[in-house]
Structure 1
Amino acid sequence: MTIEGLSHLGGKTEYKDDYAPEVLEAFENKHQGNDYWVTFNCPEFTSLCPITGQPDFATIHINYLPDVKMVESKALKLYLFSFRNHGAFHEDCVNIIMKDLIKLMNPRYIEVVGIFTPRGGISIYPFCNYGRKGTEYESMAKERLLRHTPQHTYK
């Protein structure tokens, strides 16, 4: 079985050597009339420090409310794995991921959190979010950002 427009499912997996937003693919949401959460957790995310070249490890949490399009999970996995040899600060990684997914899907709402393992005795947990402008999701994004408390949420 194949779904129109999706090329990664059922085929040979090709891993990109560096940041590859072109591998992202979307399909039509069959429940556009419903508000519902879709959550992805990637506990094996890696990227490189752009200064030292040392690897950084994280769990990436992506939560979104879809509208017309949804991200295909294998394509998302390949996309997230493409950061493996990419040099970017933790904060850049989560913002890049969010912006690429907004471009792909135009979700009602999305948030991305990076739970990076400590390096030099410090953990960094960047959080970014977006609610579609001019809708109730814009105010939802503002409220969730202002109430975000990673020290109580992620352990």
Structure 2
Amino acid sequence: MANTDNRTKEGLTLLGNQGTRYSQDYDPTLLETFENKHQDHDYMVTFRCPEFTTLCPITGQPDFATLYINYIPNVRMVESKSLKLYLFSFRNHGDFHEDVCNIIMNDLVKLMEPKYIEVRGMFYPRGGISIYPFANWANPDFGYGDIAASRMFSQLSDLDKGDGAR
């Protein structure tokens, strides 16, 4: 009973729901949050989605990626099942790789207002070329601007080392 009360109090409608609805197109309304219970210190949360799919907006062919989302929470945090359903909603959505990473980052910034966030897409090759877009954002109220700038360019050296995931 306590778990149900906590879900209701937090406004979580998807967690534990047996009647899960899978959106057939991009749907940011699926995202839900809960309160960060450790606001007294900073820490990083990482999500890895090794089965991310979206569609090429020109050919309609599927694009596959491993998607990484790292963020330093502020007051609200994204609930993982809602994130999974949100990411699944890209399955029939057509957008370029770079757009997808920026859309996801912008939606999560709007949702949570984190201290810092980054989204990296490791898209598998199609036509002999892999694309690895990286988008990040630092809330100006928390002093992570220098880290955002350094992470933007340090991820390039990670790729040179053959370490696409950090």
Superposition TM-score, scaled by structure 2 size: 0.90
Size of the aligned set, in residue pairs, is: 155
4+ runs of 1 displaced by more than 4 Å? none
The structure number with the bigger radius of gyration is: 2
1:102 aligns with 2:109: yes
1:39 aligns with 2:49: no
Choose from 64, 70, 73 the match for 1:57: 64
Give 1:135 shift: 3.1
Which structure 1 segments of 5+ residues have no match?
A: none
The 3-state SS of whatever aligns with 2:149 is: helix
The 3-state SS of whatever aligns with 2:127 is: coil
After superposition, the C-alpha distances for 1:48-69 in whole angstroms (9 at most, x for unaligned) are: 0000000000010000000100
Equivalent residue, structure 2, for 1:151: 160
- Mapped to 2, the partners of 1:85 and 1:54 lie a distance apart of 10
- Provide the alpha-carbon RMSD of the alignment: 1.1
- Mapped to 2, the partners of 1:136 and 1:40 lie a distance apart of 23
- Mapped to 2, the partners of 1:109 and 1:42 lie a distance apart of 19
Equivalent residue, structure 2, for 1:28: 35
Counterpart of 2:16, as a letter, is G
Identity across aligned pairs (percent)? 62
- Mapped to 2, the partners of 1:74 and 1:44 lie a distance apart of 15
Pairs within 5 Å for 1:1-155: 1-2=3-4, 3=7, 4=9, 5-11=11-17, 12-149=19-156, 150-152=159-161, 153-154=163-164
Which has the higher mean CA deviation after the structures are superposed, 138-147 or 94-103?
138-147
